[in-house]
Chains A and B, each alone.
Chain A
Amino acid sequence: AQSVAQPEDQVNVAEGNPLTVKCTYSVSGNPYLFWYVQYPNRGLQFLLKYITGDNLVKGSYGFEAEFNKSQTSFHLKKPSALVSDSALYFCAVRDGGNKLVFGAGTILRVKS
């Protein structure tokens, strides 16, 4: 079965600094990978996806993610963090047909 792991429960970064939220995956076949963000008391919002093609994927709100096949990773990045980026971030992988499997989530805290 497909799976993803988010090794950090929480990431702290200062406003203006670059941020990275880590995700590793385990799949059979080609991976379909996704990042979502969840603000307090809200549903998940889609940020970006990797299906095929360029290893650097650009998404919403200035976020991007780098797909690395040799390291089986799909880390979320942003060059300059904002306080408003503070939220819960989920990595997900497509699992057979139309389903997604989610990681446990990483809390991002950006301090001013």
Chain B
Amino acid sequence: NAGVTQTPKFQVLKTGQSMTLQCAQDMNHNSMYWYRQDPGMGLRLIYYSASEGTTDKGEVPNGYNVSRLNKREFSLRLESAAPSQTSVYFCASSYQGTEQYFGPGTRLTVT
């Protein structure tokens, strides 16, 4: 039981490049989330998926897109990376709005 896994762990991009962050959970949770964590800002919700087949914007969705590929997988795409997207990205999952379980994070630097 791996819980929530994320790939890659680290990534460096140049401004304008694109990439996809991958997330998978093996806990049969129906809800999945993408957050970014910046110093002094806590965690801010980018997008979430309450159930398979649905996605909704969170607090800071601009510059991002998501895909809920199936019940297990939820990916986050940056189409044209900007330095303001330098952050640590966390994926999480939960069962019907109860406590969320987090992945180890992806540290992204955009130069």
Contacts and interface: CB of A to CB of B under 8 A. Distances in A.
A and B assemble together: yes
Interface in A70-112: 90, 94, 97-100, 102-105
Given A49-B99, A99-B58, A43 B45 contact: no
B4 interface: yes
Given A43-B105, A103-B42, A98 B94 contact: yes
Given A90-B43, A104-B41, A44 B97 contact: no
Interface residues of B, number: 24
B100 interface: yes
The interface residues of chain B, by DSSP majority, are classed as strand
Interface of A: 32, 34, 36, 41-46, 49, 90, 94, 97-100, 102-105
A44 B99 CA distance: 11
Contact of B50 (A45, A94, A97): A97
B38 to A, nearest CB: 10
B90 A100 contact: no
Contacts of A45: 102
Interface string B87-104: 000101010111111111
B25 interface: no
B53 interface: no
Given A46-B100, A104-B40, A104-B42, 9 more contacts: A36-B102, A43-B105, A44-B92, A44-B100, A49-B98, A94-B97, A98-B31, A99-B97, A103-B42
